[in-house]
Chain A
């Protein structure tokens, strides 16, 4: 099929939207509520174009949204006609009336690549108090422009349904389920809403002020750890290309902020694999109920506790990497370097909002000391750096501090969907056969489009593996398991699409395309690292020798494992 856009003739597919056709023709149409991973809704009306059915019809062009209208043979599209520009201008003026300050609105317009407007002619409408009940997510209703992206994510991508619209006509508003406080809904804190909100109406509890205050306290020993997903994404916040691996610069930046030690959560990930791979083999050997699910994703854990509490015994009892790491810092590290555990503050930089909830769970503390004290998201760290005028782009590289700064490739790949599984396979194979697996890069578990099933043959056994990301897919899988249709031995579940690299705390925008690029940076890093398996990490070996004994030992259980319980909401 052929259509004309701005006098350019282009070939299009029959099921293309006008917006897709324009994108392929490299013609920019401003959008607002449109998101490539979500169904177009036509709510905001910004993406309008003028359409004529064909030449010589003599009729005036029709204005329509381009995100959800399909192309037709011979269609003539104008993206910058006077009618279109006028429509968009009035539209933006009406969107803007919800912002508190005019400069904020103009800044936001620039961010969204929307044309500026000379004056805001419309007075703002009254709004309601912010919801700050949840430890991870805050909602400032005044900033909401009713684009609906957050609700689509929560409903369609995550099947959690903690937020919704309510009322109609002019009273329509973003609301929480049944109008309750967010922490009384089924919200699992995954933050997928916050990573698509164009105005920051829904965003994470930042905790930047708390971390700033703690950095000023000279009586404390302040340790920071960084998740594998942060180093492949934070560069985007400073204008670097998507998929830039900025580990060294990130460490320098954290040093500049004044942290006493800058450690690597990948070490914690290696530790998780040691415990979890051995736990899997233990469960298989002792014929425990299968499958076993990974437990490093706190939003997934919340999801299980709220929606599928009967299956909690299937969740691995291993804590998540940063939690294990915090527990080791406040025991092994504290002892070794003669620092009192109460004087150590652990800050985690995470791609995740749910971790802000996780750190205060019962059981995420040992001997009275919380494993991790604060969590900053990738966005949060970027904001803090910008406040301090630290331009990540310009920094030189530094190395992580030791002894807890060494991570293997198996730890690095935790950030992407399939990574935990692949790392577990590398170690489980060794434990079972005392030999390294031939294909270290077990590609069968990569590139899951949502739910992927594969089998692993090892030591005469056949293991059915599942790799799931996105909670709607997780729900699908759980329903399959419930109805007896599915037969898995080990399933990795990441709440966020693409895994942690697509996490709720990652830079905006985060789309499937962007996540793919971040993933390839993760796999590239794996290839470059000296040690590629968790069990070959010498610092991990040292930790077990000197302190833990062996995986699943009594000490390991005390520090590195946790319990779950049925709950109706995430409220404490």
Chain B
């Protein structure tokens, strides 16, 4: 018996999130019929990943890295700066914008770092901004039309 072209569940979850911008619970019900796992198991799996969301993600999400290296390079102050600029606190969101902290993005040599993800028709694309300063952030957010 050879290796069948088996699609993995994490692939399906990405597919769903790419299509809808989040994972609707009704889609998990549909998926459970396809992959022979109960909706509860799929829900349990999807909810254990930071990337998957059960509620619609805002148009753009700012994720500022708060891991040790970015932390010592001043990520907390930058976070406060962003909060002031866009008028929402970390962990909050509206339909247009969300603000989160994230853990290490693997760009520690260019800390501090943030990622801005935006919803496209086929998923979320992320753009990384490095060696941030307050001025740089203001410029970026202006360019992204977030302030």
Contact = CB atoms under 8 A, between A and B. Distances in A.
B47 A167 contact: yes
A161 B39 contact: yes
A179 interface: yes
Contacts of A161: 38-41
A167 B48 contact: yes
B48 A178 contact: no
Interface in B38-71: 38-41, 43-44, 47-49, 54
B28 interface: yes
Interface in A157-201: 161-168, 175-180, 185-186
Contacts of B48: 165-168
B96 interface: no
Nearest to B28: A178
Contacts of A155: 38, 40-41
Interface string B89-122: 0000000000000000000000000000000000
Contacts of B54: 179
- Interface size, A (range): 10 to 19
B25 interface: yes
Contacts of A165: 44, 48
Given A178-B25, A178-B28, A168 B40 contact: no
Nearest to B26: A178
Nearest to B48: A168
A168 B39 CA distance: 18
Nearest to B25: A178
Given A178-B25, A178-B28, A166 B43 contact: yes
A181 to B, nearest CB: 13
Given A178-B25, A178-B28, A162 B47 contact: no
A163 B43 CA distance: 10
Contacts of B40: 155, 161-164, 176-178, 185
Contacts of A168: 47-49
Given A178-B25, A178-B28, A166 B39 contact: no
A212 to B, nearest CB: 36
A450 B95 CA distance: 52
A166 B38 contact: no
A175 B41 CA distance: 11
Contacts of A175: 43-44, 47
A371 B118 CA distance: 60
Contacts of A166: 43-44, 47-48
30 contacts: A155-B38, A155-B40, A155-B41, A161-B39, A161-B41, A162-B40, A163-B40, A164-B44, A165-B44, A165-B48, A166-B47, A166-B48, A167-B47, A167-B48, A168-B47, A168-B48, A168-B49, A175-B43, A175-B44, A175-B47, A176-B40, A177-B38, A177-B43, A178-B28, A178-B40, A178-B43, A179-B43, A179-B54, A180-B25, A186-B38
Interface of A: 155, 161-168, 175-180, 185-186
Q: Which 4 A-B pairs have the closest CB atoms?
A: A161-B38, A177-B40, A164-B44, A164-B40
